[in-house]
Amino acid sequence: MNRRVVITGIGIVSPIGTGKEAYWKALREGKNGVGPITRFDSSELATQIAAEVKDFNVEDYMTKKEAKRMDRFTHFAVAASKLALEDSGIDIEKIDANRFGVVLGSGIGGLETLEVEHNKMIAKGPRRISPFFIPMMIGNIGAGYVSMVFGAKGPNYTVVTACASSTNAIGDAYKIIERGDADIMFAGGAEAAITKLGMAGFCTMKAMSTRNDDPDTASRPFDLERDGFVMGEGSGMLILESYESAIARGATIYAEVAGYGMSSDAYHITSPAPDGEGAQRSMLAAIKDAGISPEDIDYINAHGTSTPLNDKYETAAIKGVFKDHAKDLVVSSTKSMTGHLLGASGSIEAIACILALKEGFVHGTMNYTTPDPELDLNYLPNKGEERDVKYTLSNSLGFGGHNATIVLKKFED
């Protein structure tokens, strides 16, 4: 049917603020969300810093009893979904629940529950395992709970493509509405992997920054002295809606989803393909799906992890796609402030793009102090700028070679 798909609701729980207004204010001000880990004793780990969610009270969004039966990643998913639904102004009593769905991305799911219950079994035996262990831990349960809490009876599933998960989720939800299988969708991601086991795993991979004495500048995408990513947590959820549905109820429209592309590197379990060859194909597919040319893109929200290879090859990929236009683009990394939310990263970065389109401001890349001679694009060092943006592109690149890209467009009636 090729229906237009618009964004009418934004909900976010992030290391730099909960709620759309707090998040946007933090992005504009270049606020840092990284600090020493407080959720457990990290003294044995090489990396002792992370971007934790700090201003979140789960009982603002559900009862204590309900919260005890959910993992932290599901807390975030339900909370962000509630904020998005409230922001959209949708009255769920007045819509067709069968055409209202959920696509959630999570790379790891209920890791905290897995760790807690495993430790309990070792210490006290298998009979002490919680009967809620499995339904708290499984990755699909975030989408399941969002569906149950809000009565969304349409398409419902979870995407697991590592750090590309929530960008795939948004793209999939877009296609579901575009082809007419639903009218309204929750779409986004949730992650809560700041646990001792999760951090230890990434530490032994030597994937994370070890700037424990200087957490404010630890996440430094595209900088010559970058030494690894910083783990983050949280959730970004959007309300995607058919244009006809949004107009019929007089909704505020933030932006339009214009294109979606994806690809596989088919190269390595963790390293991107040389020169970002897979990322290039993903970007080109999204641009083609949007029916535009590369020269129409004004701003790229990069995957920009602050790891040596990712930033190098993503820069090469952008140059490969945009050719001479690459020098006219602005590129920035939200992860310089929020850290890397793994499977949820694409969702909060999509929100940064949507608000850039709506508000005419593009946030900068913080902690950029020493240019890398191989990385020579305009990364908006340390400061955002007012900029009229019509098309934005958001990249997410995951372990296993998963690449996902969405193109978002300034809404024009």
pLDDT for 352-401, tens place per residue?
A: 999 999 999 999 999 999 999 999 999 999 999 999 999 999 999 999 99
pLDDT class for 413, splitting at 50, 70, 90? confident
| CB-CB contact of 12 with 349 (8 Å) | no
pLDDT in tens, 103-141: 999 999 999 999 999 999 999 999 999 999 999 999 999
What pLDDT is stored for residue 1 in this prediction? 65
pTM listed for this prediction? 0.98
Q: How many residues are listed for the chain in this entry?
A: 413
Structure tokens at 109: 């799911």
Sign of CA dihedral 163, 136, 233, 115: negative
Active-site annotation holds for 353: no
Q: What is the CATH number of domain 1-402?
A: 3.40.47.10
Q: Which position among 75, 203, 340, 353 bears the catalytic label?
A: 340
Q: Residues 184-197: what's their mean pLDDT? A: 98
Q: Which of 303, 353, 363, 402 is catalytic?
A: 303
**Is position 303 annotated as part of the catalytic site?**
yes
pLDDT confidence tier of residue 248, bands split at 50, 70 and 90:
very high
Closest CA to 34 of 178, 221, 201, 162: 221
Query: With b meaning 16 or more CB within 10 Å and e meaning fewer, what string describes 32-45?
Result: bbbbebebeebeeb
- CB within 8 A of 232, min separation 6: which ones? 14, 15, 33, 50, 51, 191, 194, 335, 338, 339, 340, 341, 342, 345
